[in-house]
Amino acid sequence: MLDIKDFSFFENQNSFDFKGFLIKTASYWKWFVLGLIICLTIAHQINIRKQPIYSLEATMAISEQKNPLFTANTSLVFNWGGTSDQVQTIASTLKSRSHNEIVVSKLDYFVEYLQEQKYYTQDVYGLTPFVVKLDKSKSHIYQRPIRIKFISQSEYEIELDFANSSSITVINYSTNTTDNVTVANGVYRKRFKVGQPINLPFLNWTLEIKGTPENYVGSEYIVSLNSFDGAVSRYRNVKVVIDDKAGSILKLSMEGTNKPRMVDYLNETISTLMKRQLDSKNLFAENTIKYIDTTLTLMEGEVRVANDELKDFSRNRNIIEIESKGQAFQDKISELDVTNDDINRKLNYYNNLTNYLKNSTDYSKLPAPSVAGIDDPNIGRNVSSLIALSVRRSEMAYSVKSEAMFSTIDNEITALKKVLLENIITAKGAIQYESSQIKSKISQAESKIMQLPEDSQAYLKIMRKYNLSNSVIDAFLQKRHEAQIVKAANLSDIQFIDPAKDIGGGLIGPRTGVNYVIAIFLGLIIPLSIVFLIFFINNSIQNTDDVSNLTSIPLIGVVGVKQSFNNLAVFDKPKSALSESFRAIRSSLQFLYKKQKLDGSKTLMLTSSVSGEGKTFCSINIATVFALSEKKTVIVGLDLRKPKIFEDFNLKNEIGVVNYLIGQNTLEEITSHTKVPYLDVITSGPIPPNPSELIMGEALQELLERLKEKYDYIILDTPPVGLVTDAVELSQYSDVTLYVMRQNFTKKEMVNLLNNRVKRGELSNVSIILNGFENKAKYGAGYGYGYGYGYGAYSNGYHDDDEPKNIIVKYYNRLFKKSRG
């Protein structure tokens, strides 16, 4: 049966050392400071180099404006549909190419007025003391900066850079085409008078001063003439929003760096739309007036002909007598003629309308039915609706790309045409019957006129033609007058609610505060991510918790970072916190010896996983603390492969343990005294070809027996147990084995090697020293969590200062300090 303890391995593997991560993070505080400085500096540079961005808006309403002069007696019908039918069309029109071409052309927004500032080139439209008037029918330099400097109030200088150019591109805005013009290589500079027309192959304008500006002499500006189509494309991005609560309200908004430019554009685009919509609304009346004017021209000719005939007939005749004979028939036949003409005009209108509907696709030029005397409300309403749909479709061609929307409006037009054709058939049937009745009455009247004398018949014939023409002209003049009155009284369905206006504010960017917040966030998160990555991939020992989590072998001491050049840290600074940490190890060792009930000489072996973990440094200083307590101590250099211990005592490694083991020298000859009282050193000597065999020989056992007779403590400095097996062979001669680990150096998997060797009995009586520990998180200034005697500010007066006061000396020592072995 599984026990819960069986899962402890997995818990240890998956646990995250949050405390260690915080300590590691705090140790890199300089990275965070540097990250914040860099990111805030970048954010500041971005903020000062960006132009302010503003947002302005204008509001307009769409409501069907009824003509105040339209009454039941008005013979012209204007029906443009409800408001809901126009809102979407108007919203699309505002973003259409054709509409924005009109606005851009009115405002000359392809002309840019610029001024160089410290960090950017500013758009100064509306802020310059001048304006340029282009001759759009001529060529202008294209997309090159034209530098303008005012020499005086009435004179300015133009500068153009034609360096490395034999020809330049020019544009003609009337045709919107480009061409090339040959120029002289170099800088073109010339002075002109304000108001003087400039006529050059590449520039044709007049510069005029606006109002009465002050202090503009010496000012410099840049004018750039850009693509017309490019300017139109930019302004098609105007934002149009239909109000959710009021569907007939449209809000237009723009974002940019120049508020006067946006104010002018928003107001002009609405004004232009209002005019276009009113023109469309007046189209019905204009078509009617044109039709009437054409008819009146023809009728005036007929009147002149009839008048001339009457004059010719009156010569040498008694008109009074002739007129009196036919007076009884004249009024009646004239009335019948007018009625018959009205009927014929209606029939002609219906016939022409039928042909137009069947053969044409543009119905925007249809005249009103009332012009022909047709008062059928269905026909009048349907004709006006057909005109409105035709106008809408023509506007959609520039703003709508959806075939579905075109299909919808085409279906509406087709259905309306069918209804209108049916209305025409019905109306023509009624009129044709009326026409036959009138013609019968005219025939009866004409048969009676035939009984009159020939002169009277001729006179009545001329008068019938003359009276009919006058009656028609009077009727058409009345219709034209009605159309003009209704047109003049029409109001646009688009009205300003709030014109765009610069009242201050409107600033939306750059968001300097947000940029600084982002900079602070990045300045912290980037170093934090790096630290987390280092912490995550770092598989080395970081603190005492790592040691206790990876092994059950006791940790008897924590040694701090050495700040001196050599390894004699305890001897050089006996009152330092580092020295106290070695004294603490000495106390722990004495407790271990006492626990083992050892008397006499004691043997201590120091080893590690790999080279560089500081076993030689620890050997020297542990031996030093024993010697300073007046215990005869000897350090034996048994790292025969890579000897180091002689360097710190300024000794030569010419003879040593190797010479004794091969029988060349005696113990006295290989033993060296040091400047530390009670401390001797036996170096390893020359590197032998067979170090392992020498250590395994009986000579080494004999050497150690003789040393025990002379010394209280024997310190064996051995090679790394993770690289060679020499330390395993030497462990049989030691009473206690100290395994040295180093912070940020010893890999965690090396601890498994130690555990396995202890488990197999290859090493016994093992304890651990954590070397090179630097608690950068500063839980006090000491070394270790309770190990050693450093307690930050509370240690003043008890320890020498291990850390150099001068920061230059501090980093110099760190750069050139010696390796610890």
Would the pLDDT of 524 be above 50? yes
Token couple for 716: 């064996």
Does residue 787 carry a pLDDT above 70?
no
Q: Decide if pLDDT at 797 tops 60.
A: no
pLDDT at 8 over 50: no
Query: So what's the pLDDT on residue 627?
Result: 92
SS3 207: strand
**Residue (of 495, 485, 493) closest to 68 by Cα position:** 485
Q: Which band of pLDDT confidence, cut at 50, 70 and 90, is reported for residue 306? A: confident
Write out pLDDT tens, residues 43-85.
998 888 888 899 999 999 987 655 544 443 344 444 434 445 5
Tokens encoding 348: 């002609």
Report the distance separating Cα 152 and Cα 137, nearest Å.
30
Which is more confidently placed, 445 or 122?
122
Q: What are phi and psi of 714, to 5 degrees?
A: -120, 120
Find the mean pLDDT for residues 143-155: 94
Distance CA 518, CA 309 (A): 96
**SS3 state of residue 169:** strand
Q: How confident is the model at residue 783 (pLDDT cuts 50, 70, 90)?
A: very low
pLDDT (0 to 100) of residue 10? 38
Return the pLDDT at 636.
Answer: 92
The answer, yes or no, to whether residue 155 has pLDDT greater than 50, is yes
Quick one: tokens of 223? 């004018």
Q: What is the pLDDT of residue 397?
A: 61
| pLDDT category of residue 335 using cuts at 50, 70 and 90 | confident
Q: Map out the domains of the chain as residue ranges.
A: 20-50+510-538, 96-277, 283-489, 544-816
Walk across the sheet containing 177-182 and list its strands: 139-141, 167-172, 177-182
Strand partners, 161: 187
Is the confidence at residue 527, as pLDDT, over 50?
yes
Radius of gyration of the chain (CA): 55
Give the SS3 label for residue 293: helix
643 upstream amide cis, omega within 30 of 0? no
Dump pLDDT digits (tens) for 578-621: 889 999 999 999 888 888 888 889 999 999 988 888 888 999 99
- The domain made up of 544-816 has a fold known as Rossmann fold (3.40.50)
What is the mean predicted confidence (pLDDT) over 655-682? 90
**What digits encode the pLDDT tens for the residues 380-439?**
778 877 877 777 777 666 555 556 667 777 888 888 888 888 888 888 888 888 888 888
- Provide the pLDDT confidence category of residue 817 given band limits of 50, 70 and 90: very low
Beta bridge partners of 673: 680
How does pLDDT run across 19-45, given as a tens digit for each residue?
Answer: 767 877 887 889 999 999 999 999 998
Share of the chain above pLDDT 70, in %: 85
pLDDT exceeds cutoff 90 at 207:
yes
HSE-up of residue 492 (Cα within 13 Å, Cβ side) = 17
CA distance 29 to 776: 9
The whole-number pLDDT of residue 291 equals: 77
| pLDDT score of 784 | 36
| Least confident segment among 24-33, 179-188, 529-538 | 529-538
> Residues 372, 345: contact at Cβ < 8 Å?
yes
Write down the mean pLDDT value for the chain: 81
Split at pLDDT 50, 70, 90, the class of 15 is low
Average pLDDT over residues 127-153: 94
Of 246-260, 346-360, 683-697, 805-819, the range with the lowest mean pLDDT is 805-819
Residue 4: alpha-carbon gap to chain centroid: 54
More confident residue, 817 or 545: 545
Contact between 109 and 221 (Cβ < 8 Å): no
Write down the pLDDT at residue 781. Answer: 33
Evaluate if residue 320 carries a pLDDT over 70.
no
Specify which of 246-250, 325-329, 365-369 reaches the highest per-range mean pLDDT: 246-250
